[in-house]
Amino acid sequence: MDYYYDDYYDEYYDQSEQAAAARALHREVGFEETISNCVHPSLRFATQYVTNFIAINLLFSLLVLVVRRIFNASQRWLHLLSCLCGIVLLYRVIDHGFYHFVQLAVTLHVVQWLLHRWFSASNRYIKSPFIVIAYGIGNLLVSELLEPSAETWNRIRGTQMILLMKALSLAFDTDENLALRSQLNVLSYSGYILCPANVVLGPWTSFNDYLNIAKPALGMEAKHGRSSSSRRLLIHVFRILISALMAIGFMLTSNCMIDYLLAPVFSWKWVRAYGRALSFRTSHYFIAYLSQCSMIAAAADWNRSDDDRSIMLPVSSLYRVTSPTAVEFPRSLVQVVTAWNIPMHLWLKRYIFRTTKRPFGTAAAIALTYIISSLLHGLHYRLWLTLLTIGSWTFVEHEIRRKIAAIYSACVLVGKCPDSCAVHQHNSRSLLCIVINALFFALNTFNLIYLGCIFESTEGPPEEVHHDKSIFGRWTELNYASHWLLAFAYLFYFVI
């Protein structure tokens, strides 16, 4: 899973006293007060913030189209434009910590260059990408320790993480692919790292996906003509607007509407926990849809012909970052982990899990995947504890449901069986499966509340501030309910 978006967002959004008061969940507020003191300031922030991403990436997209026509898809100009627009976007939305970004980008490239030059023997025991992983994560953790301002680091945490993910994927992709390595130089590396489509908020894209920006859709124009080009342009603009509106809607929900709707019953501790967790998730959706909007505006996926078949994004689209429906209505925690940040999940699965599964086994690969995911976020102790809990829950849930499915021959696995399942006697529409799946749905919804409430920012009365000073403050208030259930679930797993 991935939480880096929200660290950046919480620090960047400097609320006024009125907006902070409107977000204080311990007091009831009226509708007009919420509109004037929270919605209006949030909309002003969103307009300024979102405009930077859309405007700069649209400019980048138009310049790429012009260069494509003039220079016949010259990648050198693509890299130059990417560097220029990426630097401008970084300057517009991040006002501190540039030296951390520069030193990490430069040193990672130097390390990879040295490994390609002096450590390319085919009979080596340690693959060079793992050396890059060790250096990159070590650099990230040391930089966070040496940075005197926690606020500055939180503003660049997500940007540093995306930079490191790009460099690590590049190390894996160029380790064996000599053709791709031949396209890697200082200019192409800089263009990939600074690509405005995802330099600040993500999502991660591979080096090949970045290079495809300069490649037109082969045969598309000749096959479909100008009418198809106009339709694709309208779909493109529509998707930008929808993504931007979704982002703003989730931001208003996180900042204002949750507080307003739950204020009358906020005295109940589980309602408070639900509000904090939902506010955290919707703030993640805000940044996820904004990064999706940024990717679409940069036209990073225009050469995929299947993307213009409908006005909505296809499931396989490079743009898709998250799936709120899958997270909010979880069949299993595995579904939550997958849908929370889709590109992050693909990155971990491709470069960490699959790479370590063969030499170390499945269990070790899963553990290493969660460890690497935690370390990529830096010294984020609450996140480490949360990911450890999620990893434990996903394992025990998977095993319990596997055993129940085998005992009762029922479609109750973590993944949904097809409608015409030939493996199990009881399909997903049977009463037994409905009851069991409903129980796991309730359990996973409970875990979303418990695990998410720990990340809520502190803006409440003194007693709430006291809770947040401790890593376990929010969980103490809830009597560690999920962890007790986890222990019982492990016991149940061994008994059945």
Residues known to be catalytic: 377
Q: Is 1 helix (H, G, I), strand (E, B) or coil?
A: coil
Amino acid at 204: W
Alpha-helical segments (H) within 409-480: 431-452, 462-468, 473-477
Torsion over CA: 110, 111, 116, 118 (sign) = positive
Q: Tokens for 215?
A: 């490649």
CA distance 229 to 14: 42
Q: Tokens for 263?
A: 């204020």
CA distance 77 to 65: 11
Q: Please give the DSSP secondary-structure letter assigned to residue 27.
A: S
Answer yes or no: are the C-beta atoms of 322 and 235 closer than 8 Å.
no
Q: Please give the DSSP secondary-structure letter assigned to residue 313.
A: P
The residues near 223 (Cβ < 8 Å, ≥ 6 apart) are none
Q: Tokens for 287?
A: 């940044």
CA distance 112 to 226: 44
For residue 410, the cross-strand partners are 426
Helix axes 150-176, 128-146, angle to 10 degrees: 170
Cis geometry, peptide bond prior to residue 203 (ω within 30 degrees of 0): yes
CA distance 410 to 238: 43
Q: What is the dihedral of CA 198, 251, 238, 326, to 10 degrees?
A: 80
Neighbours of 125 (CB within 10 A): 5
CA distance 352 to 346: 10
Q: Tokens for 247?
A: 């982002």
What separation, in Å, do the N-terminal and C-terminal C-alpha atoms of the chain show?
A: 30
- Please provide the DSSP assignment of 238-264 as one string: HHHHHHHHHHHHHHHIIIIIHHHHHGG
